[in-house]
A = this chain, B = another copy of it.
Amino acid sequence: MRMNEGVEWAAHVCVLLHWAEEGGDAPVPATRLAAAYDLPTAYLVKQLQALGRAGLTESVPGRRGGVRLARPAARITLMDVVAAIEGPDDAFACTEIRRQGMNAERPARDFAQPCGVAHAMREAELAWRRALAATSIADLAGSTPAGRAADARRFLAAP
């Protein structure tokens, strides 16, 4: 059960975009974002497209174009980023094994209720999501050591 590493990329990129916005350097081209952390450009672009489809970022085509946050960093949470990259599916997928084998003869209505396993898994994932939703991109930006933001802006604005 490993999470896509695109989630880490996307989170860091969102922080960069927030800093760029603050410095008036938005939008930032994807090539520059990739260079900032030495990531494979073409693949990072895929993740950026996922962020765009989820409404977290918007992109400007053409020369002087690039990507920017679609709303203030304080209103983009880690949960949003994870959902955008990982997709909407829960980690735990029910396959209804309880209906097979010794229970194959039972009528379908015997299984109308999800069983305790599914319920507990669902609760646990909700707790996880709530925790992720408690941290925003602005929080992440604020918790980085002083001076790092200015350096990043300098790098993103460089020719």
Q: With A5-B93, A91-B1, A97-B37 given, is the CB distance from A135 to B115 under 8 Å?
A: no
Q: Are A144 and B115 in contact (CB under 8 A)?
A: yes
How near does chain B come to A14, taking the closest CB pair, in angstroms?
10
Interface residues on A, range: 35 or more
Which of B1, B104, B126, B140 sits near A3, CB closer than 8 Å? B1
Q: Give the chain B neighbours of A101 by CB distance below 8 A.
A: 35-39
Asked if A22 lies at the interface with its beta carbon under 8 angstroms from chain B, I say no
What is the copy number of this chain in the assembly?
A: 2
How near does chain B come to A140, taking the closest CB pair, in angstroms?
4
Q: Give the chain B neighbours of A132 by CB distance below 8 A.
A: 120-121, 124
Q: Are B121 and A12 in contact (CB under 8 A)?
A: no
Q: Are A4 and B7 in contact (CB under 8 A)?
A: no
How near does chain B come to A20, taking the closest CB pair, in angstroms?
13
Task: Give the interface centre of A89, A123, A152 by most chain B CB atoms within 10 Å.
Answer: A123
Q: Which residues of A contact B (CB under 8 A)?
A: 1-5, 7-9, 11-12, 35-39, 78, 86, 89, 91-95, 97-98, 100-104, 110, 113, 115-117, 119-121, 123-132, 134-135, 139-140, 143-145, 151-152, 155
